[in-house]
Each structure stands twice: as structure tokens, then as C-alpha cells.
A and B are shown apart, each in its own frame.
Chain A
Amino acid sequence: MNHEAQLASKIATETNIIVAKCYQCGKCSAGCPLATDMDVTSSAILRLLQYNTEATDTEVLRSNAIWLCLSCDMCYSRCPNQIDIPGVMDLLRQESVRQGCTNAAARNIVRFHRSFLDVVQQTGRSFEMGMVLDYKWRSKRWFDDLALAPRMFLKGKLRLLPEVVKKRKEILRLFKRTLFLRKNV
């Protein structure tokens, strides 16, 4: 893989976030609800980005952590230098998909996001049943939550037919213009 524009400078130009501001106090990792489940913690990701080398950039893009980040903004609200870490994570995720180096353990997370947006692209709205079936098809995890479905149905939580916006063309055009391409991860 070629080392394209270095990630830190790409982050700076596209989001105005300066990763060099991080002085490694570690408050973000300490407050992160999923820090113990991540292969690289948020403060370590910022450190790797500061190194500015091909090897460290690749390590970041290949991490599972960027996909586990919930964008709960706990790190951002505690950061003494107000670095928008979830904003960095968004860019890293998009870059990781673009360069085709998504972590194998994170594939189902990416599949789920794609299933979600597939339904929105088709109908303009999200539709749980369609999304779940689309996701099960992509991930082949047919048996997850099977016991939950009838209970949800009885409680009136599952809709059987999708709702569709009136001006579907506007939605399709919007998806086309944002260059969101359908691609199987």
C-alpha cells in the first residue's frame, strides 16, 4: 500500500482537528467506556498519528478500535486540549474503508452500517426489519436475537412493511451526489 497523504495532515485539512495538540495525559482512554475492549486506546491512536509514518498510519487504519468507538464524546468533553477525538475517528473509519484495510474483527460493524444505509437509500427512512435481514444476509449471522423477535413482535415493536418518503428521487440523488457508493466490505 502506498503511503498517501499523511493522516495527520489530512485530518487537519478536512476537519481542522490538530492531533499534535495531544500531550498524552490519557484522560480520553481513562474515560472511554470501551477502552478495555480496544486493541489501541484513543490516546495511543493520537500518539501513533503524531509519528506521521506509513507504518503507524497503517496500524491506526487497521485497528479494531476505530470501529468500536461509539462517538459518545466522553473523551472530547474531558480533553484538556479540546481535541475532537470522535471527529478524528470518523475520518479514520472512512479512510480505512477507502483504502480497503478494515480490521477483520470489525467487518460486522461495517456490514451493519452498510445495511442501515442501504435501507435509507432505498426508502428514505430506516426500517428495522429490512435492516436486520440485510445485515443477517451480509454477516451470515442468521441466529442472533432469534428469541427476541417474537417478543418484540408481540409488544408491537416490529413493523412488517417499510415507510417510504414521497420524494424518493430526492433521496437517491442525494446519495449519488455524496458519492456514497455501494460496496461490499
Chain B
Amino acid sequence: MSEINKRVGFYPGCSLNGTASEYKTSVLSLANAFGIELEEVPDWNCCGATAAHNLNKNLSLALPARVLANAAEAGMKDILVPCASCYNRLALTLHALQDESVRAEVEALIAKPLDAGIRVMNMIQFVQEYIQPHLDEKIQRPFFAKTACYYGCLLVRPHEVLHFDRTEDPQSMDEVMQTLGVGTIDWPYKTECCGAGLTMSRTDLVSKLSGNIVADAAERGAQAIVVACPMCHANLDMRGQQSSGKDTAPIPILYLSQALGMAIGLDEKQTGIGHHLTPVKPELLCAKQPEQIVQPEFKKEV
């Protein structure tokens, strides 16, 4: 544990408090290791995700707006949103609120004033800004396994609103992973959709899409897939392996925060890698803890 020298707003979102609790654990321990305290947005609510924008436009703006209003009330400027879906909804709402008439309408819906001075950050942006500059000196267990960085759709699109990385061949996560000493594969499925919110209602389609992604990564020699979204993770981990072909060994799916956590020597409890359906074996991905490495003894020449 290091000294706290920075505070950043934090919107975990519902997934991180439910099925993706290990993502939350790993994000909090990673931030802590770099001296950053993540402060939760007070009394936050669900962003509405896919369901709200599919069924009611006003609801899809009002739910994220309440989160933004609560954050502003608490004096937060930057909010880390590790879930790509929440990040996308909050960013789209901030964008829509730039229109005065929309802002007035939404303020009436939530009965709270909206402050414009808030910035939402996705997991990769947070790492670029707060972790990457100090990463080199902290790496204890460099990665040797080839990884495939999977961004999914919601981190990079629509570019008109998010202005983050390239829409089809993003590089930001690859660059972070390369600092860990790992080679990342070049592949065409980086931003292909995993099937997202249809996972319950059209499991067949989600298995097909996620299966294609996992199978392509495997074919190109990836030994792990790194993601920054709990929905991508759930679909690749649960649905993608079933249909990716029987002859390939299942590929572990890691969160970016878990990969970084493992590299800086956090233990399994702190990274939460034991909670995935597809088992993660650290010894196959990164070097052993330095203290466990036994220095070979050389015989003196006679």
C-alpha cells in the first residue's frame, strides 16, 4: 500500500457490484498501489444501459444525468467509469447536455441542476493518465504470453462524441500491454461487437459473435485476451468459449486492471483472477514473483 496522494471520482456501475465484482476489486487495488483513492459518486444509480436507450430516450438521458448531478454536487471533476457501457452512456449524455434546451429538459426530469465541468474517463484513459507514467518502475512480473487486446465497440465509438483512439484499429490498450513486456497480436476483431445486451434474450447470436472473437484470437496465437468492459468479459468468458471450437484450449480473459495488477505483483485476492469461469493461470502468462526466483549457482572454474 502506498500513500494516498490523489483522489479521483469513481462510478462503478451495477456490473462491478454484481457479476463483475472482481473487476472492481482489481481496479481498486491497482489505484491503491499507485496512491490513488477512488471516491464513489454518492448514491449513484444505474445508467440505464442498453434497455433505456432502446425503449425511452428521456430515460436514457435522465438516469446518467442523475449520476453526473450527484458527482458534481460532491465536487468531483474527473470520474473513472471502468464499465465501457456506463462510460458510453455517461459520455453520450454529457454530449447531449451541451444543447441548452436538452439540458433544461433533463434538469426538469431529475429535479437537480447539471454542472458542465465534469469529465468521464474510461479504464484505458485512467491508466494512460495515472498509471502508465509510473508503471516501469513498479513492474515485478513482466508478461511473456502473447495477448490480444479486445476493445469492443463502446470504448471507441461513436468517435464524434468520445474522441478516443481509432474506431477500428485502436492502439491505446496495446501500448499499455507492451509496457508489460508483452507482444500484442494484430487482429481484425479488436472492435467487433461481442453481442452485448442480447446475452440473455438471444444467447445463440451472442455465442456466435463472442465465439468468433475468441476463435480468431486463438488462431493468431494469443494466450490471453485483455478487455476493459464487464459485458465483453462476461460474453467472452461465458459464451465465447463454448463455440470457439473444441480442439483449442480455453483462452483466459483478463481485465486490463488485472493484467496490470499481476505485473506489479499484486496477489490473487487483489486481482480477483480466481473469479472467472475460464481459469487464469498466472504462471502461464507472466514471470514468477522476483523473490521466488532462485539464482543459479555457478561453479567456480578450477
Contacts and interface: CB of A to CB of B under 8 A. Distances in A.
B29 to A, nearest CB: 16
Interface in B15-50: 15, 17-22, 43-46, 48-50
A70 B53 contact: no
A174 B110 contact: yes
B158 A33 contact: no
* B interface: dominant SS: helix
Contacts of B277: 151-152, 155
Contacts of A1: none
A158 interface: yes
A66 to B, nearest CB: 9
B: contact size bracket: 35 or more
Interface stretch (B119-127, B128-136, B197-205): B197-205
Given A126-B46, A159-B17, A159-B18, A74 B153 contact: yes
A158 B198 CA distance: 19
Contact of A77 (B52, B66, B168): B168
Contact of A173 (B55, B111, B197): B111
B56 interface: yes
A74 B203 contact: no
Interface in A50-89: 68, 70-74, 76-77, 82, 84
Contacts of B202: 68, 108-109
A82 B60 CA distance: 22
Interface in B264-289: 274-277
Contacts of B49: 116, 126
A99 interface: no
User: 6 tightest CB-CB pairs across the interface, nearest first?
Assistant: A73-B157, A72-B193, A72-B153, A113-B51, A178-B58, A126-B14
Interface of A: 14, 33-34, 37, 68, 70-74, 76-77, 82, 84, 90-91, 93-94, 97, 108-114, 116-117, 120, 124-128, 132, 135, 139, 144-145, 148, 151-152, 155-159, 163, 165-167, 170-171, 173-175, 177-180
24 contacts: A14-B57, A68-B202, A70-B153, A71-B54, A73-B153, A74-B192, A74-B193, A77-B159, A77-B167, A84-B158, A94-B57, A112-B51, A113-B54, A113-B55, A114-B51, A120-B48, A124-B45, A128-B18, A155-B274, A156-B22, A171-B66, A174-B62, A177-B62, A179-B56
